Each structure stands twice: as C-alpha cells, then as structure tokens.
C-alpha cells in the first residue's frame, strides 16, 4: 500500500477531498441523528405514545440493538464486496425507514422503525469511516479522522437547533380522514430524514476506494480513481501525473493471467476468500489490539451514549424544577421526578396526560454541550502527532473518572451543564481516537470488519446502559451514579497494574472493566 500512499500524496488536497469530506460529514450527521433525535421527542411524545420511563430507555436503545445484530456481518461483507454499494444502499434505506418512523401512530411502530434505522446505520457507518480514511495518505489520516469525528459535536448543535426551531411549535396535521394524525414530533422526524437523503445522493458521485480495488487485484480501476482525484484536485491533465504508469507491470501480469481466470467466481468462493483475508485479525498481534480497543470502546461509548442520550430528558426535568439553585443537588430533583411519575401511573386513567415539554433552556444547554465538545477535538488534532494517541487515552480516562463522580453532586444548572459537557466532550474525543487507532493498526483487507467489531462492542455497552439506567434510576438517583463511579474507582486502583501486566493473555477480562479501565488498557497500545 506504500505505492498508493505516494500516489495520493502526489494528488494533494483539493476539490475531491472537499466532496469526500462533505459526503462523509453529512453521512456522519445523518447517522448520529438516528440516535440523537429520540431524546428530544421523549418529553413531547410521552403522552401521544403513552411511554413509561422504561419504554423511553428502550426507545433510546432500540437503534443500538439493530446496529449490534448486523455490524460484524456487514463489516465482513464490506471488506469483501466494496464500500460504495453499502454506503448508497444504507443511506437510501435509512431515509425510507426514517420516513416510516415519522409516520408512526403508536409506540410499537416507532420502536420497530428505530430498530431498522439502527440496522441501516450500521450498514453505512463502517464504510463511511473506512472510505474516508482510504482516500487520505498516512501523514494526514489521523487529523482527517479527528476532523471528521469533531462533527459529532457539530451534529449535536445542529439537532438541538433544529429541535428548538421545530418542536417549540404545536403543529398538528390530519390526513386521509384522520387515518394519519401527524403531531409536531412526527413532522420533526420527517425533516430530519433529509440528511440521509442528501448523503445518499452525494455518495452516488464518489468512486469506490482505490485501496479496495487493489485488494481485489483491480489495478486498472484503482489507477482510474487516482487519476480522477488528481485531475479534480489540481485541474491538470492526467498525463502530467508523476506516477502515470503506476502498477503497469501488475496490470500486464493480470492481463497475462486473464485466460486462466475466465472461470466465474461464485458468491461462495468470494465469501470464503473474504474469510481467508480476515483470518489474521484473530491471530497475534492483531487480536490483542482488537481486544484492547474493543474493550475501551465498550466502556467509553457506553458511558458516552448514556450521558448524551439522557441529557435532554434530564435537562427538561431540571428546567421545570424551580429550586435548583444550590439548595438541592441533581439527585434530589431526579428522585422527585421519578416519585411523581410513579404517582401518575397509579392515578386513574381519566386524568388527562400533560407532557413535560422541553423549554428554550434545554435546547440552549444542548447547543452549549455541542460547542464544548468541539474544543477537545481541536486540541487533540493538534496534540495527536506530538503527544501520541496513547497518552491522550490515559489523560482522557482520568478526566472521565473525576467528572462522572461530580455529576451526581451538581447543585446548579450551570454546574450540571458544565460537567455533562466535559464528560461528553472527552468521551467523544476518545471514540474518535479509537477509530484512528483502528484505521492505523488494521490493514485494508480487514479494516471495516475491525471497525465493525469494535463499534459492536461499544453499542452493546450503550444498549446495556440505556436499558439499565432508567431501572436503576427508579431505585433512587444515587444508585446509577454511585454504581458507575464506584466501579470506575475500584477498577482503576485495584486492577490497574495487574491489567497492564496481564491484558494480552487475559484478554477476556477487557470487557469486564468500567470507565477507569480505559486508562489502564490504553497503556498497552503502541505509541503513535
């Protein structure tokens, strides 16, 4: 792959990369909206859909169930059959499923729609990251991936701004003689589907990854893609390209061997070849890296999504509580809310349900959180080549331990927003670093599958956390917060040194660690 890195470096940075990053970023935002839109409709749709606290948690978690079930299989297929076909079909399907979700009239239909949105997000997420990285030469790859990942924070700002602009209205629309009653949250979901539609259209204009073509011995197709990048970036004719005769000898070898390869390759043979290509991923040393990064992603992505997905709901609760001014802490408010919610469930059905609508403060807080999340990405983009990803992992792990413990004791709206923002920002940056490490450590033939395995473990952490959080919250606010922080601290101090010493052969222990374990496992990553 050194030849293609030299060729990509010769192509420089230009309009092709603008199109590539625009497609990748809009696709990233479209995928993030699959999970980010749900928290904003929970307060306003709780009466229309008759949702309990547990049902809200399940609705938050539903996309992750879909992602978890198909991610690894899709990752394998993407490395076998290419990136573009899954990007185009994934975003097209995501648009259609979002429209179905927007048309839902019951909780059950919305849950099913969210499940399939998760499936289709998984279809498009891995290829999105892989394809973006494979069009960048080595020297800029980490910075490009971190730049792309920073738009997770921008997506939070966008969804908060759009939610504020749409959900603050009280629009209702009845179609087909009342068969389809659209509330404001239905219309909101419709409008959010535009992002996946735009992603689908943009990816139609991008070529397949040249690195994938090379793994398939399609050197002519790979060369044509390189030529396209060169002409788009420089505006010069192909003949002026320094590596115009790139892979000429290999192309001739392929032509000479063509008569021997006339036998049509069956789907079964392609799948077997794909399995053969990914076999090294489950052998040393790659399997150690896979276990370490998967374990870290399980911890960080799980915590990140619990805090991120429940923040709008918690902010709405706090917004409607007038005495959050230093006299009470966050847990006092949440305990009052869960008690009142239980009282509502036990009242007679004749009582009219009045939803706790999010006010301006919730949307502003969410935009503040998104803005804060951009800062660590900017800093890590500068520091990653100087300090190294390994040291950033360690520092981020320690910060998360302290901040997560502090959230439980937040006694003002300012402190709550500040602590949530710092926690989400650091954890989000860590996920970007995990992706950059995966791209660097795993070769092209198995890169998308590696990303799929790592993200699947992260989504399992999210799924478990989002279902468990409301259950623990019903037991008392202190239960989920103290459970998380006590496990973090215990694992940090009790398992730190043993884990560093023995992780490579006790890899199964990786998934049992909590947030503090992120720091411990980071010590095993190679310096970069």
pLDDT tens across 185-225, in order?
Answer: 999 999 999 999 999 999 999 998 888 888 888 888 888 88
- Retrieve residue 487's tokens: 């496990």
Rounded to an integer, what distance in angstroms lies between the CA atom of residue 123 and that of residue 31? 10
Give yes or no for residue 112 having a pLDDT over 90: yes
Q: How many residues does the chain have?
A: 528
Distance of CA 15 to the CA centre of its chain: 26
Rounded to an integer, what distance in angstroms lies between the CA atom of residue 507 and that of residue 89? 36
Q: Per the confidence metrics, is the pTM higher than 0.75?
A: no
Q: Binning pLDDT at 50, 70 and 90, where does residue 322 land?
A: low
Reduced DSSP (H G I as helix, E B as strand, rest coil) percent helix, strand, coil of the chain, to 5: 80, 0, 20
Mean pLDDT, range 160-174, rounded to an integer: 86
Give yes or no for residue 183 having a pLDDT over 80: yes
Mean pLDDT, range 266-295, rounded to an integer: 71
CB-CB contact of 8 with 229 (8 Å): yes
More confident residue, 266 or 330: 330
Give yes or no for residue 524 having a pLDDT over 50: no
Give yes or no for residue 179 having a pLDDT over 70: yes
Rounded to an integer, what distance in angstroms lies between the CA atom of residue 49 and that of residue 505? 49
Runs of H (alpha helix) within 258-322: 267-278, 286-319
Rounded to an integer, what distance in angstroms lies between the CA atom of residue 483 and that of residue 119? 31
Q: Which of 431, 499, 503 is nearest to 285 (CA)?
A: 503
Mean pLDDT, range 504-517, rounded to an integer: 37
Work out the mean pLDDT of the chain and round it to a whole number. 77
Lowest-confidence region among 18-22, 50-54, 113-117, 233-237: 50-54
Mean pLDDT, range 21-46, rounded to an integer: 86
Query: Residue 481's pLDDT is what?
Result: 74
Lowest-confidence region among 197-211, 372-386, 433-447, 491-505: 491-505
Rounded to an integer, what distance in angstroms lies between the CA atom of residue 112 and that of residue 258? 48
Query: Residue 201's pLDDT is what?
Result: 94
Query: Residue 194's pLDDT is what?
Result: 93
- Return the exposure string of 441-469: e unless at least 16 CB atoms fall within 10 Å of the residue's CB, then b: bbebbbbbbbbbbbbbbbbbbbbebbbbb
pLDDT tens across 343-374, in order?
Answer: 665 554 555 666 667 778 888 888 888 888 77
Query: Residue 354's pLDDT is what?
Result: 67
Q: Which residue has the tokens 């411990």?
A: 520
Query: Residue 170's pLDDT is what?
Result: 84
Instruction: Check residue 495 and report its DSSP letter.
Output: S
CB-CB contact of 314 with 21 (8 Å): no
pLDDT tens across 57-110, in order?
Answer: 888 888 888 888 887 788 778 877 888 899 999 999 999 999 999 998 889 999
Lowest-confidence region among 42-51, 168-177, 489-498: 489-498
Residue 123, exposed/middle/buried by CB under 10 A (0-12, 13-18, 19+)? buried
Q: Binning pLDDT at 50, 70 and 90, where does residue 261 land?
A: very low
Rounded to an integer, what distance in angstroms lies between the CA atom of residue 161 and that of residue 38? 15
Rounded to an integer, what distance in angstroms lies between the CA atom of residue 377 and that of residue 471? 33
Query: Residue 5's pLDDT is what?
Result: 81
Q: Please, what are the domains in the chain?
A: 2-210+279-522 (1.20.1250.20), 211-278 (no CATH)
Query: Residue 356's pLDDT is what?
Result: 66
Q: Binning pLDDT at 50, 70 and 90, where does residue 277 land?
A: low
Q: How far apart, in Å, are the Cα atoms of 523 and each of 2, 292, 362, 500, 502?
A: 29, 10, 38, 7, 12
Mean pLDDT, range 305-320, rounded to an integer: 80
Rounded to an integer, what distance in angstroms lies between the CA atom of residue 188 and that of residue 459? 25
Query: Residue 317's pLDDT is what?
Result: 81
């Amino acid at each position: 792959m050194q030849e293609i890195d030299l060729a990509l470096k010769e192509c420089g940075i230009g309009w092709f990369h603008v199109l590539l990053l625009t497609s990748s970023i809009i696709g990233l935002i479209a995928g993030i909206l699959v999970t980010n839109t749900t928290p904003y409709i929970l307060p306003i749709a709780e009466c229309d859909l008759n949702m309990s606290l547990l049902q809200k948690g399940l609705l938050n978690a539903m996309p992750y169930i879909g992602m978890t079930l198909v991610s690894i299989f899709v990752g394998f297929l993407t490395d076998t059959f290419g990136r573009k076909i899954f990007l185009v079909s994934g975003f097209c399907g995501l648009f259609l499923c979002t429209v179905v979700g927007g048309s839902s009239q019951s909780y059950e239909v919305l849950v099913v729609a969210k499940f399939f949105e998760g499936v289709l997000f998984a279809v498009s997420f891995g290829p999105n990251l892989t394809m973006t990285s494979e069009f960048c030469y080595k020297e800029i790859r980490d910075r490009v991936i971190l730049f792309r990942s920073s738009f997770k924070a921008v997506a939070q700002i966008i969804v908060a701004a759009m939610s504020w602009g749409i959900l603050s209205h009280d629009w209702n629309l009845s179609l087909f003689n009342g068969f389809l009653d659209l509330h404001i949250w239905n219309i909101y979901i419709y409008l959010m589907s535009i992002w996946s539609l735009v992603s689908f259209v943009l990816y139609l204009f991008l070529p397949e990854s040249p690195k994938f073509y090379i793994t398939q011995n399609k050197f002519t197709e790979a060369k044509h893609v390189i030529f396209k990048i060169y002409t788009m970036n420089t505006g010069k004719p192909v003949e002026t390209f320094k590596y115009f005769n790139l892979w000429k000898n290999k192309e001739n070898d392929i032509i000479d061997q063509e008569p021997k390869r006339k036998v049509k390759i069956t789907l079964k043979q392609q799948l077997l070849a794909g399995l053969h290509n990914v076999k090294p991923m489950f052998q040393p040393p790659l399997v150690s890296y896979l276990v370490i990064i998967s374990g870290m992603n399980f911890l960080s992505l799980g915590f990140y999504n619990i805090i991120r997905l429940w923040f709008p709901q918690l902010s709405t609760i706090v917004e409607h509580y007038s005495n959050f001014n230093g006299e009470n802490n966050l847990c006092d408010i949440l305990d009052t809310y869960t008690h009142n919610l239980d009282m509502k469930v036990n009242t007679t059905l004749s009582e009219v349900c009045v939803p706790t609508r999010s006010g301006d403060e919730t949307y502003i807080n969410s935009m503040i959180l998104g803005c804060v999340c951009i800062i660590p990405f900017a800093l890590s983009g500068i520091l990653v080549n100087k300090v190294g990803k390994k040291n950033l992992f360690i520092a981020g792990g320690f910060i998360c331990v302290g901040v997560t413990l502090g959230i439980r004791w937040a006694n003002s709206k300012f402190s709550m927003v500040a602590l949530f923002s710092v926690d989400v920002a650091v954890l989000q940056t860590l996920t970007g670093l995990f992706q950059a490490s995966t791209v660097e450590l795993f070769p092209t033939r198995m890169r998308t599958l590696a990303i799929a395995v790592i993200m699947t473990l992260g989504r399992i952490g999210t799924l478990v956390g989002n279902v468990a959080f409301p259950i623990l919250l019903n037991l008392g606010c202190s239960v989920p917060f103290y459970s998380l922080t006590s496990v973090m601290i215990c694992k940090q101090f009790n398992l730190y040194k043993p884990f560093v010493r023995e992780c490579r052969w006790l890899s199964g222990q990786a998934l049992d660690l909590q947030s503090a374990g992120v720091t411990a496992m980071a010590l095993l990553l190679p310096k970069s």
